[in-house]
Amino acid sequence: MSGPKCATYQCDPSLTAAELRAAARDAAVREATRRRAEAAREAALLAAAARDAAVRGVKTRNARIAALARFRAELAERYGDAVTVRPPAPLHLDTQPTSGLEAWCAETDRALDAAERELREQAARAVAADLFKDVTGERAERPADAAESFADRPESDGAVGAGHEDAEDVERTLTRVLSRLLPDCDDAHRAEAHAAAARMAGAATPGEARTWLTETRLRVQRANAAAETRRSEADEAVRLLHDLDAPGDAGNEAETDAVRALLAEVVAGRRALDAPLRRRAADRRAAAEAEAERQYVVTTVTDALTDLGYQVSQGFETLTVTDGALRLSRSEWPDHAVNLVVDQQGGQLRTAVVRTAAGRGDDDAHLDAEREEQWCEDFRDLRGHLAQAGLTTDLQVAIPPGQVPVPLAVPPAASGTRARPRHRERDR
């Protein structure tokens, strides 16, 4: 089995896009994967997945912090000193350990919940106080109870009189209802809830007040349902943006940038995550995942070849995308090399021994066959290395020696090569 060869390859389905990205970037993860040291490999892949999840979690919480900070700024501009709470500070992602990111997320969840709850209460108190100030002409120093609020107001037919009320604190009740209004609900829903609250505050009878209190609750529920949808869309947009951080299809980088900009609008609450944007984002994410797989295949093949003693051009990553061919050389092969193509679209590895200097007779033809046989053995070893790294291969073509002459190929322009300081020495 020598001469030109072609084998299909397929990544292990258990390798997630996050793990592939980590393995492509991190030599330690690649080494653990390549050597198939199961405990180390599983630990490395689990660590990569945990890191990815922690980073995504930080980004999600940073987006929530930004949304809460915007709401707080709007309240402070309107109500001034009545707004005292501040959301927690966002985290700048740097070189923090994964455990540190996870701890920050847990602590920030508690701080965000507390800050949001207090901010909702401060906003509700300020709104209710303004509404009752509009009704009474001045801000009361203490909440007026229901009997006081409706004592001088005429009752409509069939309404329950103030004397039959439980002396409910109207302003406090209204404050409690408004405090359930989520900070990231949109302006239209917020205005509707405030309008119903204003009708309650200005009600002429307890019955009318109860009716508008019920309506206020319903409008708050509708506003919160819409806000929860927007919050869910923002979280989804953060996840999509995180996935698009990885390199994708270089030929469509402009489209990726455009999708990123639209997703950022969703995170900021300025647009919805509609079906067309989801499809565009899914396409860009698929391209990013394909690029992660390509990088993993490229780096895994490169590691295996250098371990087998081949010198690999530093431009391997670029060559597989542009020219499509990789030139492999060995120190003991002055006149021969191997061309290798990683065809991701077809899922193939195609190889052929080539001459880098013209032959001069039958002895050279014999040497060609020897080099092909040597590459045959190395190709078998390469497939073993790839299998250990989760890349299964299936041999499709293996042309016998002598059927196809070894072609003359002009060496590529001089460039740096990649080779391990220590590699396997062969006796020939």
What are phi and psi for residue 131, nearest 5 degrees?
-65, -45
Q: Which residue has the tokens 């061309």?
A: 339
Using 50, 70 and 90 to split pLDDT, how confident is the model at 239? very high
Whether 24 shows a pLDDT value over 80: the answer reads no
pLDDT for the residue 1: 41
Please report which helix (H) or strand (E) contains residue 114, including its range: helix 98-136
Determine contact, residues 72/86, Cβ cutoff 8 Å.
yes
> Confidence band (pLDDT; 50, 70, 90) for 212?
very high
Structure tokens belonging to residue 314: 């530093």
Higher pLDDT, 148 or 199: 199
The whole-number pLDDT of residue 319 equals 38
The partner residues of 5 in beta bridges, in order of sequence, read: 351, 398
Distance from first CA to last CA of the chain, Å, rounded?
18
Here the tokens at position 374 are 């040597």
Nearest CA to 61 out of 111, 127, 21 is that of 111
The alpha carbon of 251 is separated from its chain's Cα centroid by a whole number of angstroms, namely 21
Q: How confident is the model at residue 132 (pLDDT cuts 50, 70, 90)?
A: confident
* 314 pLDDT higher than 50: no
- The answer to whether 375 and 338 are in contact (CB under 8 A) is yes
Only one residue has tokens 């103030």, namely: 162
pTM here?
0.64
pLDDT band for position 251 (cuts 50, 70, 90): low
Nearest C-alpha neighbor of 304 from the set 325, 45, 296: 296
Select the more confidently predicted residue: 10 or 329.
329
pLDDT value for 291: 81
- Among all chains, which residue has been given the structure tokens 């295996």? 304
Q: Of 30, 31, 34, which Cα lies nearest the Cα of 19? A: 30
Give tens-digit pLDDT for 268-309. 888 999 999 999 999 998 888 888 888 888 788 888 888 888
